[in-house]
Amino acid sequence: MADKKIVEILMVDDDEGDTFMVQEALADSSCANNFQVVHDGEEALEFMGKQGRFSDAATPDIVLLDINMPRMNGHEVLSWMRDQEAYKLTPVIILTTSSSDIDIRESYEKQANCFITKPVDLKKYDGVIKVIDQFWTEIVKLPPKQ
């Protein structure tokens, strides 16, 4: 039997409660994952650029990206990613409290793969994360790393 594929997931979100809920939901995943968290856009660029304390960071297969963060917002992170050869094809899931048409449009214009507004209800939020996990780790074929 083949070894389980490990999916590298990076969550970029400044809300520790949200990152904890996602980590808990992913703990039950049928796919092995390496879940990493950074708390703002600048940290995300350091992580993906393998700079400083992130010099040994794994290249993420999937990025869960919040929009509203300090220092650098999610739209800026997404623009940076799409300008980097290594991250042009990396699936980016916008996971945010926003439901603004402007944020939705800008996310898709910058080539986000999907836009999800975080449910307020904890049970629904857990369900959304499980659906994201199942879709992106079991159903979808992820692009090869460059």
Domains and CATH numbers, the chain: 6-137 (3.40.50.2300)
When pLDDT is cut at 50, 70 and 90, the band that residue 4 belongs to is low
Task: Tell me whether residue 68 is exposed, middle or buried, using C-beta atoms within 10 angstroms of its C-beta: 0 to 12, 13 to 18, 19 or more.
Answer: middle
pTM: 0.93
Mean pLDDT for the stretch of residues 88-111: 96
Q: What is the pLDDT of residue 39?
A: 95
When pLDDT is cut at 50, 70 and 90, the band that residue 1 belongs to is very low
Contact 93/107 with Cβ under 8 angstroms? no
Average pLDDT, the chain: 91
